[in-house]
Homo-oligomer: A and B are copies of this chain.
Amino acid sequence: MAKFTRGMGRKAGLPPGSLLHIGDNRVEKVTISVMDYDASGVREENPKTVGELLRFKNTATVTWINIIGLHDIKIIERIGSCFDIHPLVLEDILDTNHRPKLEDYGHYLYIVLKSFVSQGGDNPEIEQISIIIGENYVITFQEQDEALFNTLRERIRSEKARIRTLGADYLAYALLDTVVDNYFDVLEALGETIEDLEDKLVIEPGRNAMQEIHNLKRRLLNFKKSLWPLREVMGTLGRGESPLVNKATLLYVRDVYDHTIRVIDTLETYRDILSGMLDMYLSGISIRMNQVMKVLTVISTVFIPLTFIVGVYGMNFKYMPELDWEWGYPAIWVVMLLISATMLALFRRRKWL
């Protein structure tokens, strides 16, 4: 939970645009990789210095620069001056606690969004991805090297890929599409976890079921926080106000927008389902509990008058005629059986058993 705020206050009082990496160092060394392509071919490079990137800046080809690792502030700074990026954007790239947003700086668009990296375990890590969309280049900033964009890279490499004939805006769309499609995987895993939990609740509701429901709720809360603002980002992008995005690409962007809404819808549905499950679990527990108490209380209630009766004939009064009767003892048994039978019948008739 503290990760929502930790590191937030570290910068108070510093001038704006002061670069400071807020987040964990997830990789050891910052890696820069470049894909430069047009319909005729693809060039891939891993430049050692930021200076080498300058070559790609004013070419007719589409250039995708991918930076993995954010802790080396100098590299980010140099890329910023290289591509004329506003210091506030650099600051935002380094601050990994940002909510998704879109900012239009005229000659480039800046988009922040979140990706969920499954670590093998159940609870995916939230990673921040920054995308800068220029005239003929796209720069992406990631916290770690993961396989998310590998399929896209393969697609670009393949000979007749349509993407090779289209501009930087289409590349940006392809990146956004990949990230949003990845949400569906995460949601599917989450949906299965919820389904399993529901099945488990029916079979054997235990104390820790509640803990699990609450954990899932918390996780949904995190997802929602990461996804909700994306709706607006995609909506704004799809309205096509920036000349950097072609009319033809807008159709695709709106498709991503649709997917984003579906993701958010599904999250809402999950939340409703979890609330319903919690209600049902709690009321189920309480109803079952009450039933147990009722049965136990009925048992006590049947025996208490009987215990009284045998107490009566355990008294030591000198003159107790019943004690001397020959059939007194069996008679008292009969009386007690009658009493308990009557009580049980009454309880049963009133549906107390």
Is the beta-carbon distance between B262 and A99 smaller than 8 angstroms? yes
Is the beta-carbon distance between B262 and A12 smaller than 8 angstroms? no
CA distance A319 to B306 in the complex (A): 20
Asked, given contacts A221-B269, A276-B217, whether A332 binds B317 with beta carbons under 8 Å apart, the answer is yes
Is the beta-carbon distance between A225 and B269 smaller than 8 angstroms? yes
Q: Which residues of B contact A186 (CB under 8 A)?
A: 9
Q: Which residues of B contact A305 (CB under 8 A)?
A: 299, 303
Is the beta-carbon distance between B301 and A210 smaller than 8 angstroms? no
0/1 per residue, A305-337, Cβ < 8 Å to B?
111101111111111101111111100100000
CA distance A188 to B11 in the complex (A): 13
* Docked complex: A157-174 residues within 8 A CB-CB of B: 161-163, 173-174
CA distance A311 to B190 in the complex (A): 59
Contact of A188 among B2, B16, B177 (CB under 8 A): B2
**A345 interface residue, CB < 8 Å from B?**
no
Interface residues on A, range: 35 or more
CA distance A317 to B276 in the complex (A): 60
0/1 per residue, A1-33, Cβ < 8 Å to B?
110111111011111100000000000000000
- Of A39-47, A131-139, A285-293, the one contacting chain B is A285-293
**Considering only CB atoms, which chain B residue lies closest to A161 in the complex?**
B15
Contact of A266 among B4, B16, B177, B287 (CB under 8 A): B4
Is the beta-carbon distance between A316 and B319 smaller than 8 angstroms? no
* Residue among A12, A151, A191 with most chain B CB within 10 A: A12
Q: Which residues of B contact A313 (CB under 8 A)?
A: 315-317
Asked, given contacts A155-B15, A310-B315, whether A4 binds B269 with beta carbons under 8 Å apart, the answer is yes
CA distance A191 to B186 in the complex (A): 27
Is the beta-carbon distance between A210 and B280 smaller than 8 angstroms? yes
Q: Which residues of B contact A198 (CB under 8 A)?
A: 1
Is the beta-carbon distance between A319 and B329 smaller than 8 angstroms? yes
Is the beta-carbon distance between B214 and A280 smaller than 8 angstroms? yes
Is the beta-carbon distance between A251 and B297 smaller than 8 angstroms? no
Is the beta-carbon distance between B8 and A184 smaller than 8 angstroms? yes
**A344 interface residue, CB < 8 Å from B?**
no
Q: Which residues of B contact A308 (CB under 8 A)?
A: 303, 306-307, 310
Contact of A314 among B92, B218, B287, B314 (CB under 8 A): B314
* Docked complex: A266-307 residues within 8 A CB-CB of B: 266, 269, 272-273, 276, 278-280, 282-287, 289-290, 292-294, 296-301, 303-307
**A85 interface residue, CB < 8 Å from B?**
no
Q: Which residues of B contact A187 (CB under 8 A)?
A: 4-5, 8-9
CA distance A9 to B294 in the complex (A): 47
**Considering only CB atoms, which chain B residue lies closest to A150 in the complex?**
B13
Contact of A300 among B269, B300, B318, B332 (CB under 8 A): B300
CA distance A304 to B99 in the complex (A): 62
CA distance A13 to B300 in the complex (A): 65
Is the beta-carbon distance between A251 and B86 smaller than 8 angstroms? yes
**A152 interface residue, CB < 8 Å from B?**
yes
Is the beta-carbon distance between B182 and A12 smaller than 8 angstroms? yes
A-B contacts, 6 of them at CB < 8 A, read A1-B273, A7-B188, A8-B184, A99-B262, A221-B269, A225-B269
